[in-house]
Each structure stands twice: as C-alpha cells, then as structure tokens.
Amino acid sequence: MIPSKNTAKRKKTLFYSTTVQNSQKNIVPFGQVVLEDENLWKQINVIRKIVGYEGRKEASCADELKALYIFTGVEPPTSLHENSIHPLEIKEKLQFLMCILGIKSNET
C-alpha cells in the first residue's frame, strides 16, 4: 500500500519536545530527529575508530556513548544512565567527549 500525500504530511508534522534552560520549549521535527540519530551514529563510529574501541555495538546511541565514556576513562554523565534521553542531549554529551579527546566536530 502506497501512503497518500496526506499520510506523508502527517508524518512530517510529528514532533519531539523537551524542556531546556529557562523552561522554554525546544521542538524538533521528527524527520530531523531521525537524521540527527544517523549523524550521531556516524560520529560515534568515528570515535570508536580513533580510540580503538572494538567492543560490541550497543543497541542505542546513549548506551554506545556510555560505553565509549567508560572505555576512554571518563565517568559517564548520570543522564546517560536514564532509559529515555533526548537525541539533543546525546549530541551534547557526544560533543563533550569529542572535546575531551581532542576530536574536532564538523558541526557548529
């Protein structure tokens, strides 16, 4: 069954929201979250190669990032221990680890 244009439009309007500083809402389109997840995995794989981590791949970005923190000798942030963590927070923790390791990010 081929989705109609209306179905495609509805899928594009799905949003994730999270609270950020000053109790403002940060709303991210669903498609951007999926794209962000792919970019996170690419960056995680780059870090794995640079530091020589050959452990098994974890099921989620958060678990994989936690494993990389432990492997590099850095205590993982407590938020990585939570079951549901927003992709934007994972991105922030990933960039922090990259900074510690001296890896430049291609993102601004």
Domain that includes residue 86, residue range:
59-103
| pLDDT the model gives residue 65 | 94
The answer to whether 106 and 96 have CB atoms below 8 angstroms apart is no
Other beta carbons within 10 angstroms of residue 67's beta carbon come to 19
Range list of β-strands (E), 10-69: 15-19, 25-29
Is residue 85 assigned to a domain? yes
Q: Note whether residue 43 is domain-resident.
A: no
pLDDT at 82: 79
Give me the average pLDDT of each 10-residue run along the chain (108 residues): 46 38 51 72 94 92 94 91 83 93 78
Q: Tell me if 52 is assigned to some domain.
A: no
Whether the Cβ atoms of residue 100 and residue 74 lie closer than 8 Å to each other: yes
Q: What is the pLDDT of residue 24?
A: 47
- What does the pLDDT read at residue 52? 95
Count how many domains the chain has: 1
pTM (predicted TM-score)? 0.65
pLDDT score recorded for residue 41: 93
